[in-house]
Structure 1
Amino acid sequence: MSSPPPRTRWLEPDLADLRELTGHPVWHEYKLPVAADVLPPPDAILVAPATFNTLNKWAAGISDTLALCLVTEAIGLELPRFAQPYLNRAQAAHPALGRSVAFLRECEVNVLLGEGGFVPHVPKQDDVDAYLWDVALPT
């Protein structure tokens, strides 16, 4: 597998740990249609942290990355679907987000936003260490 593209570079230091944890390669690019699947079929889909852009593209059915392709297919495959956003209050106030979240919830995506999930932070005052992974990944 080639090295990660720039959009996944932030994850590169953790790739070996993720491979060890899951027992599978971390896939970040499309495979050729004739190539064998290297991952087992999923039991569920979790999108976390789900950005403003990702939530809006998912709701619009845009699948211009491998990750978006997988989550848009998850709706049709009827897999259990969860999304835990990570965004600020200014983004959360944009009307497109409310429409996208409502549509995803109509599609039975459990969007963990608001009480009991992620509460948007003040712009430019985010605290990535405070992200509620325990809500997205309950034990």
Structure 2
Amino acid sequence: GTICKALLEKHDDIFISVSATTRNPRVGEVDGVNYHFLTKEEFKQRIAEDDFLEHAEVYGNYYGTPKSSVEKMLDEGKNVILEIDIQGALKVKEKATDGVFIFILPPSMEELKQRIIKRGSETPESLMTRFKSAYKEINY
């Protein structure tokens, strides 16, 4: 999030794709800005319509990158950032062989844990699940 925001502020030729999700919005999140918040039924319908570059179920919620909006930006000659997990990046890489893929690490696992806790949106169980998943991604 922080690195993407800095890039967007400094470069007017870079745009970020807004992902879709079925999770509930966190405090301060705006539909269409932070995410496209969909019901599970809406999300599954869009999967059936092949409207995602990639999609996955993560922590009981669906996440995906809308294909149409990314293709529109690329057709307009824009550079597009997809802020996605390793699972999604591997799927996109199969389709976008000319893409540039960057994996950004947190300063430390402890810092990552503190950032997730600071959000205030995780139960102790989901925090542990997220932390284990992050560890796997970092060691991929």
TM-score normalised to the size of structure 2? 0.30
TM-score normalised to the size of structure 1? 0.30
User: More strand per residue: 1 or 2?
Assistant: 2
